[in-house]
Structure 1
Amino acid sequence: MEKIQSQFIKFHDAIRIDFDGSQPLRDKRDLVVGDLRDGLKRVFYSSYTPSFSYFNQGSYNLATGVQPILYEDYDIDVGIVFNFSKNSYRPVQVKEWVYHALNTVAARTVEIKRPCVRVQYHKNAAKWFHVDLAIYSTDNYWGNELNHIAKGFIGSSEDKKIWELSEPFKLKELLKSKITDSSDREQFRRIVRYLKRWKSYNFSSTVTGRPTGIALTACCYNLFTPQKYYVYSSYNYQYNDLKALHNVVTGMIGMFTWNNQISVKLPVQPYNDLFEKMTNNQMLSLKEKLLVLRDTLSSAWFSAVNELDPLSACVKLRKVFGHDFPIL
């Protein structure tokens, strides 16, 4: 088991990316945020320009980021919180401000999407990195700050152009309260990263139907329990990532209904179903790929526990995780 665990740790070190440890990512975020501040001044042509604060969100906020594989680009998620009430402006109107403020540089394209404004950079005619700006307003209600995210785009029907109640800061707090031990949380983050790399390796980025990172994270939030094994040579317990991952994957398969449907809610506002955009066939494909992953993990687990052939186990794991999974 020690050999397999060491390979999982090497794999994790190869695929992980943390915002705090990546100056290039911080520089890219700061570039877009700075351009937005300057661009809004041009959009308004007046002494009054709406002010905003910003924060990292998504995988960089939860410390579950992974390096992109070949032909995929870096994804940076940033929350932009404007200092006005949702009743002050229409949601898509605010997104248009952001679009016009940033759509001024030839090296990037800007697109208003339903959940965000995407700023896509290119290098050598290929996608390089993109920054997704989630746009929020903030209200103070009886001393409590409420945030609403702008949903919709220009072509949306009016009922889809909404300010939706959101809790962008609460998910990290929930994770800390649920998994109180910091080392256990590190194992949780490793499991999320393994699943994200599995997703990237097994689902094409050019087609719809692959699970989102937040959907996989929510599954781990619901299913993860810390797993360890006893090391007789050192008389202590070590983390067992293979078993923890196997348990989560098995739990995900068990969440499918008899007709191969899966539904997982975001554990904070707006509590939306994170698989709702997947079709029946896409959900079935997800289940089939999860079954392959589970069986591969089971086979590797059998080899590791019985110390039969750790090399063979690593070869099998590489088939589901890609070439970043090391061979003994």
Structure 2
Amino acid sequence: MGTGIEPLPREDYDIDVGLIFHLSKNDYSPIEVKKWVYEALHTGNRTVKYKRPCVRVQYHRAGEELYHVDLAIYAENPFNWDNRIYLAKGFPGSAPENQIWEPADPRGLIENFQRKFQGQDGNRDQFRRIIRYLKRWKDVNFSANGNARPTGIAITACAMNWFQIGTRYNISDGKNYYDDLTSLKNLAQAIINQFDWWTGRMSVCLPVSPRNNLFEKMSDKQMEIFKSRLEAFRDSLSQVELTVDTLTSCHILQEVFGGDFPTS
């Protein structure tokens, strides 16, 4: 989708791949099909593990984690009465109620994203840049352990809902130019606006089946920290807007995007 970013030092590349099997979910259990993939890949210089929504293949180089591939396993049978795709969830040993075929729409998700600003190359490019900025910000500012860090798909869904084109008028030539700073700050504020004053939580749903809340795994405390850091992020962007000196602005942005943010 053009929104991937490089991982931070000591983190590895995260690659998502969907495997669609032409079979009926009524003929095989989700764990049985996941075992096919697990056993086929459990060889060579890699480790394979079951995750609830996928099978993860971890590749190594010189004893260090290089990248991993999350393989989501789907069942699709054109002869099914509902003509739907289902995602295999669960792993061996998990409770029976957690071993399920969950309705999904991986193609619809990609199509939904690609329709955004279709035929508007400049707008689409800014849309993708803003998502990449936010992904970098969340990687720098949240631990990868547990559920404190928002997922990439949650960030993408936020942008799909609340992103607005940012432009700035240049008085010297009378033209409008894309302004990523304004667009990014406005999106951060739009996400902050989604927090409920009573519960202190926000939600954003996957735009296709199963339309689950992509922030549901965050605890109340993690949600509180997420909002607080979003507000600090917005304030830093506002400070950059008011700063004339480019070097000073870059140092501010280094604090939110990491030390490798350029200063020249």
Which TM bucket (shorter chain)? over 0.9
Q: Check if 1:292 corresponds to 2:235.
A: no
Measured against aligned partners, the alpha-carbon deviations of 1:189-218 in whole angstroms (never above 9, x if no partner) come to 101000111111111223431110000110
Gaps of 5+ in 2: none
Q: Distance in 2 between matches of 1:311 and 1:301?
A: 13
1:153-302 equivalences in 2 (<5 Å)? 153-180=91-118, 181-258=120-197, 259-302=199-242
Partner of 1:110: 48
Partner of 1:310: 246
Q: Distance in 1 between matches of 2:174 and 2:144?
A: 45
Report the CA distance between 1:233 and its aligned residue: 3.2
The AA in structure 2 aligned to 1:310 is T
Moved more, 196-205 or 168-177: 168-177
Moved more, 137-146 or 281-290: 137-146
Distance 1:145 1:183, change over 3 A: farther
Report the CA distance between 1:141 and its aligned residue: 5.5
TM-score normalised by the chain length of structure 2:
0.94
**In structure 2, the residue corresponding to 1:165 is in which secondary structure?**
strand
Provide the alpha-carbon RMSD of the alignment.
1.6
Measured against aligned partners, the alpha-carbon deviations of 1:26-81 in whole angstroms (never above 9, x if no partner) come to xxxxxxxxxxxxxxxxxxxxxxxxxxxxxxxxxxxx11000111000011111000
Q: Distance in 2 between matches of 1:175 and 1:208?
A: 25
**Paired positions, count:** 262
Measured against aligned partners, the alpha-carbon deviations of 1:222-251 in whole angstroms (never above 9, x if no partner) come to 110111112233332211000110011001
The AA in structure 1 aligned to 2:206 is L
**In structure 2, the residue corresponding to 1:118 is in which secondary structure?**
strand
The AA in structure 1 aligned to 2:33 is V
**In structure 2, the residue corresponding to 1:183 is in which secondary structure?**
helix
Q: Distance in 1 between matches of 2:153 and 2:8?
A: 18
Q: Distance in 2 between matches of 1:232 and 1:172?
A: 39
Partner of 1:53: none
**In structure 1, the residue corresponding to 2:149 is in which secondary structure?**
coil
Distance 1:142 1:72, change over 3 A: closer
Report the CA distance between 1:145 and its aligned residue: 4.7
Partner of 2:262: 326
Distance 1:280 1:232, change over 3 A: same
Q: Distance in 2 between matches of 1:156 and 1:143?
A: 29
Partner of 1:23: none
**In structure 1, the residue corresponding to 2:77 is in which secondary structure?**
strand
Question: Which structure is higher in RCO with an 8 Å CA cutoff and minimum separation 6?
Answer: 1
Q: Distance in 2 between matches of 1:188 and 1:144?
A: 34
Report the CA distance between 1:272 and its aligned residue: 0.5
Q: Distance in 2 between matches of 1:312 and 1:138?
A: 54
**In structure 1, the residue corresponding to 2:78 is in which secondary structure?**
strand
**In structure 2, the residue corresponding to 1:148 is in which secondary structure?**
strand
**In structure 2, the residue corresponding to 1:285 is in which secondary structure?**
helix
Aligned structure 1 segments of 4 or more residues deviating by more than 6 angstroms: none
Q: Distance in 2 between matches of 1:279 and 1:321?
A: 24
CA contact (8 A) 2:105 2:208 kept: yes
Measured against aligned partners, the alpha-carbon deviations of 1:260-305 in whole angstroms (never above 9, x if no partner) come to 21111111111011011111111111111111101001111122xx
- Percentage of pairs with the same residue: 48
Report the CA distance between 1:173 and its aligned residue: 2.0
